[in-house]
Chains A and B, each alone.
Chain A
Amino acid sequence: MAMRQPIESGVPDNKQWLHPVMLKNYGNWKYHDRPRPGVLHHVAHSGDQIWTVRAGTQRQMDLFTIRKLCDIADQFADGYVRFTIRSNIEFMVKDETRVAALITALTAAGFPVGGTGNSVSSIAHTQGWLHCDIPGTDASGAVKALMDDLYEEFIKEDMPNRVHLSTSCCEINCGGQADIAVIVQHTKPPKINHDLVANACERPTVVARCPVAAIRPALVNGKPSLEIDEKKCMCCGACYPPCPPMQINDPEHTKLAIWVGGKNSNARGKPTFMKMVASGLPNNAPRWPEVSALVKKILYTYKADARPWERMSDWIERIGWPRFFEKCELPFTKYLIDDWRGSRANLNASTHIRF
């Protein structure tokens, strides 16, 4: 039997799934406001209006959940939805009178309405133990636990500015830059199963992957393998994906770190990378309470101290890093002083010091 040839259709055209009001006013919107948290109201130059109701989802959705969302869209909205980059779902209606019932239906079905404006939006996250081949921790679980704690901040708009969170289950950081990010930080070099390396790994590739040139080819027990200069190794785990016998994950020594101040928007200051501010948190499934506690500590310190429109990075820039650590009651350890290439740019080459 001949195999079916794929239809190389690539990216589908979104026009076929756009709400008619959005199609009609495509590229011709004038302004928007937010009548309440979770609701956007856009007005076009034509005078047409559309209301958007945004709700949080668990991202990893079963068919029943997706069909439930479709039922709500068909019954209470106009049958059109879209997803945001943080896995929130949006329902569009052209009639303001439909907004309240839509909110009620979503809330009753367990989907929190919010995530707009100066709220804490849902967490961008990775695959974790559910599906990834190299995860140091789980993603969906840590996110569920944290969003349970931050539920009120999702459904309200009480923050100085929008807050983006992310979690990542290894240092590759698929979860991405965020105002507060939770990222796995390994603390011990890989444990190598020398019996498997020769068959499972392309050794030159693995050697080339190491950012600190700590990996060398070696003969171990008469078999071609790899060895690690453990004094050089900084436990990033880069060797593990191309060489699974170099196990970096460890139930005890794989820890979690907290990073703050990532911002991709150009608004006010230029985009910023997030910075590591805490590490050594235990990989404490199923709810990672130590992580949630520290994220909340930082988040509520920011909430209390930042001025309107300041993102996490804007706030820290205004008060200075020493005060950030002081206010958040975090120890500033030697591990937080950058020693990687280009790190001198992160040193204070001035007498600008706040006392």
Chain B
Amino acid sequence: MAKKPHDTPMLDQLESGPWPSFVTGLKRLADKSDYMVDLMGQLEHSYKTRKGYWKGGTVGVFGYGGGVIPRFSEVASMFPDSSEFHTLRIQPAPGMHYDTNILRKLCDAWEEHGSGLIAFHGQSGDIMFQGVSSAKVQDAFDAINELGFDLGGAGPAVRTSMSCVGAARCEQSCYDEAKAHRDVLNTFTDDIHRPALPYKFKFKFSGCANDCMNSIQRADMAVIGTWRDNMRTDEGLARKWFAKHGMNELVNDVIARCPTKAIMLKETKDVSKDGKISSVAINDTQSLEIDNPNCVRCMHCINVMTGALAHGKDTGATILMGGKRTLKIGDLMGTVVVPFMPLKSDEDYEALVELGRKVIDFFAENALEHERTGEMIERIGLVNFLEGIGQEIDANMVSAPRTNPYVRTDGWDDEVARINAKKAAD
């Protein structure tokens, strides 16, 4: 039994209603723990005064420079038992898969050393073991580390990564996300555990352009699955879909929503025999005809007619760089740096790791303090960045060519000659 709980009239109001209540969970922990009694007291105090009362500091584990988020209470005199409430960031497996055996072991470790509160997962993907005193941080980490888990990133480091469910259970997966995730991240464990970069660097891995990991808006290097060849089709599933959904939905939800108008409804006898065309019959007389060279791989029709339409076999990823949220210059989307990188063989995955290494080296060397990759690209220009990482330019990197004449073009002829020579050599 723990000490007497604080009155928490405001938090109590978050116990009613149908959605699972974190307050009820906190109370269950506080039944047995003075630590959590005071934690709830401080949280209620925040609700009452509408202010936060945690401050950072320096807490770590032996051998690492980051991965623990220290929190010291500014109102420790009122809530002494929870004056230290640090978080361990722990890297999850790709796709956030667990079995109950490992989850129970993680719970046991946290029951012994920490508060008993765990978040699955933080916004960077970490399992967040929330609430441990300075004295117990090392023991808690040791126990979790022995179970095969490692600390994640914090501060100006390579950060914990995320990948979608992908190949494990999704037909839209265009590469082995888990392999890419582990190959890349485990190359940079040193940069994860010992923050020494200008600022944070995030990788995220999505198996297709639906980008379930939101890599384009949140990752310095986003790896998004795509394909180069023709879309695959399945007549049985296409007919089944059409029988269930009908012509109105086919026209309004599939054909009309193609962003590049690459899909047409045709009489089956009139479907083009061109090798770049995919087609599938939806009934006895009509077919969908897909103009693959004009398909931008957006995933919409595949989302609607799952299995009837599918991505091609020549798969890999588009790599975009520089995504981030506001600070300091405003939101930035990742921009295309590699339009297509095949991801099939071990060598392909090594090339992906190598690209990551080049970018991080260039970033470490050239970014200003507290500047993200996207901000650096904005400051020095995409062309300089590409030269820095040894990447050839490509028209797929822009929405449109420049709209102003403010550029010196005295090297134009040489550049044309260089491009032509390269074309001839390929």
List chain A positions with a Cβ less than 8 A from chain B.
3-18, 22-23, 26-27, 29-33, 42-43, 50, 52, 56-67, 69-70, 73-74, 79-85, 87, 89, 92, 110-112, 124-138, 140-141, 144-145, 147-148, 151, 171-177, 205, 208-209, 211, 236, 238, 244, 249, 251, 254, 262, 264-269, 271, 273, 283, 285-287, 307-309, 340-342
Can you sample 18 A-B contacts with CB below 8 Å? A3-B62, A8-B189, A8-B190, A14-B178, A17-B99, A29-B173, A32-B307, A57-B120, A70-B100, A70-B103, A73-B100, A80-B97, A138-B47, A144-B21, A249-B52, A273-B331, A285-B50, A287-B13
* B228 sits at the interface (CB 8 A): no
The smallest beta-carbon distance between B74 and chain A, in angstroms, is 9
- Contact call A205/B370, Cβ cutoff below 8 A: yes
Please list the 10 inter-chain residue pairs (A to B) with the smallest Cβ-Cβ separation, ordered nearest first.
Answer: A31-B307, A148-B17, A62-B25, A129-B46, A14-B93, A251-B50, A266-B209, A27-B167, A147-B19, A29-B171
Query: In the complex the two chains form, is B100's CB within 8 Å of A62's CB?
Result: no
Q: Say yes or no: A145-B14 contact (C-beta < 8 A), given A56-B20, A138-B46, A205-B370.
A: yes
Interface pick from B180-188, B284-292, B382-390, B415-423:
B180-188
Query: Considering the chains assembled together, what is the distance between the CA atoms of A221 and B186 in angstroms?
Result: 51
B193 touches which one: A3, A8, A132 (CB < 8 A)?
A8
Q: A112: which of B18, B93, B142 is its contact (CB, 8 Å)?
A: B18
Q: Assuming the A-B contacts A61-B117, A265-B299, A286-B14, are A17 and B62 also in contact, with contact meaning beta carbons closer than 8 angstroms in the complex?
A: no
Render B140-151 as a binary contact track against A, CB cut-off 8 A, 1 for contact.
Answer: 011001101111
User: Across the interface, do B333 and A273 meet the contact criterion of CB distance under 8 Å?
Assistant: yes
In angstroms, Cα B16 to Cα A341, docked, is: 45
Contact residues in A for B300 (Cβ distance below 8 Å): 267-268, 309
Residues of B within 8 A of A287 (CB): 13-14
Residues of B with C-beta under 8 A to A131: 54, 69, 71, 85, 87, 130
Residue of B nearest to A287 (CB): B13
Q: A129-B43, A264-B217 are in contact. Are A80 and B22 (CB under 8 A)?
A: no
Known A148-B18, A205-B370, A271-B217: A31·B150 in contact at CB below 8 Å = no
A83: B residues at CB distance < 8 A: 92, 96, 98, 120-121
Q: Mark B243-264, 1 if CB is under 8 A from A, else 0.
A: 0000001001100010100000
A23 to B169, CA, bound (A): 9
Contacts of A7 in B (CB 8 A): 145-146, 150
Task: Judge whether A27 and B85 touch: CB under 8 Å.
Answer: no
Q: Which residues of B contact A209 (CB under 8 A)?
A: 327-328, 370
Cα A4 to Cα B145 in complex, Å, equals 11
Smallest CB-CB separation from A81: which chain B residue?
Answer: B98
The interface residues of chain B lying within 8 Å CB-to-CB of A29 are: 167, 169-171, 173
Whether the Cβ atoms of B178 and A63 lie closer than 8 Å is no
Residues on the A chain within 8 Å of B99, using CB: 16-17, 79-81
> Contact check: which of A67, A80, A177 meets B104 at CB < 8 Å?
A67
- Taken together as a complex, chains A and B put the C-alpha atoms of A148 and B17 apart, in Å, by 5
Does B64 sit within 8 A of A, measured CB to CB? yes
For chain B, residues 376 to 414, give those with C-beta under 8 angstroms from any C-beta of chain A: none
Q: How long is the Cα–Cα vector from A101 to B87 in the complex, in angstroms?
A: 36
Q: Which of B56, B171, B217, B253 contacts A309, CB < 8 Å?
A: B253
Across the interface, which residues of A come within 8 angstroms of B107, CB to CB?
A: 63, 66-67, 70
| A273–B23 alpha-carbon span in the complex (Å) | 33
Q: Is the beta-carbon distance between B11 and A10 smaller than 8 angstroms?
A: no
Give chain B interface residues in 77-99, CB to chain A under 8 Å.
Answer: 85, 87, 91-99
Q: Are A11 and B161 touching (Cβ within 8 A)?
A: yes
Contact (Cβ within 8 A) A6 B121? no
| A294 CB to nearest chain B CB (Å) | 19
User: What residue of chain B has the Cβ atom nearest to residue A7's Cβ?
Assistant: B145
Residues of B within 8 A of A (CB): 10-11, 13-14, 16-23, 25-26, 28-29, 43, 46-56, 61-64, 69, 71, 85, 87, 91-104, 107, 110-111, 116-123, 130, 138, 141-142, 145-146, 148-151, 161-162, 164-165, 167-171, 173, 176, 178, 181-182, 185-186, 189-190, 192-193, 209-218, 224, 234, 237, 249, 252-253, 257, 259, 296-300, 303-304, 306-308, 310, 325-331, 333, 369-370
Q: How far is the CB of A10 from chain B (nearest CB, A)?
A: 4
A6 lies within 8 A of B370 (CB):
no
The residue from A16, A42, A57 contacting B171, defined by CB atoms under 8 A apart: A42
Residue of A nearest to B171 (CB): A29
Contact of B95 among A9, A14, A172, A264 (CB under 8 A): A14
CA distance A318 to B48 in the complex (A): 43
Q: A145–B55 Cα gap in the complex (Å)?
A: 27
Contact check, B210 vs A266: say whether CB atoms are below 8 A apart.
Answer: yes
The CA of A310 and the CA of B216, in the complex, are separated in Å by: 20
The distance in angstroms between the C-alpha atoms of A175 and B122, with both chains bound, is 9
Please determine whether B186 and A141 come into contact, CB atoms closer than 8 angstroms.
Answer: no
B54 with A133: CB separation less than 8 A: yes
Chain A contacts for B54, CB-based, 8 A: 131-133
By beta carbon, the residue of chain B nearest A62 is B25
B87 neighbours in A (Cβ, 8 Å): 131
Which of A32, A92, A130, A285 is the one whose CB lies under 8 Å from B10? A285
Q: Return the contact of A82 from the options B98, B138, B148, B181 (Cβ within 8 A).
A: B98
Evaluate contact between A267 and B118: CB separation under 8 angstroms: no
Q: Do B18 and A6 touch (CB < 8 A)?
A: no
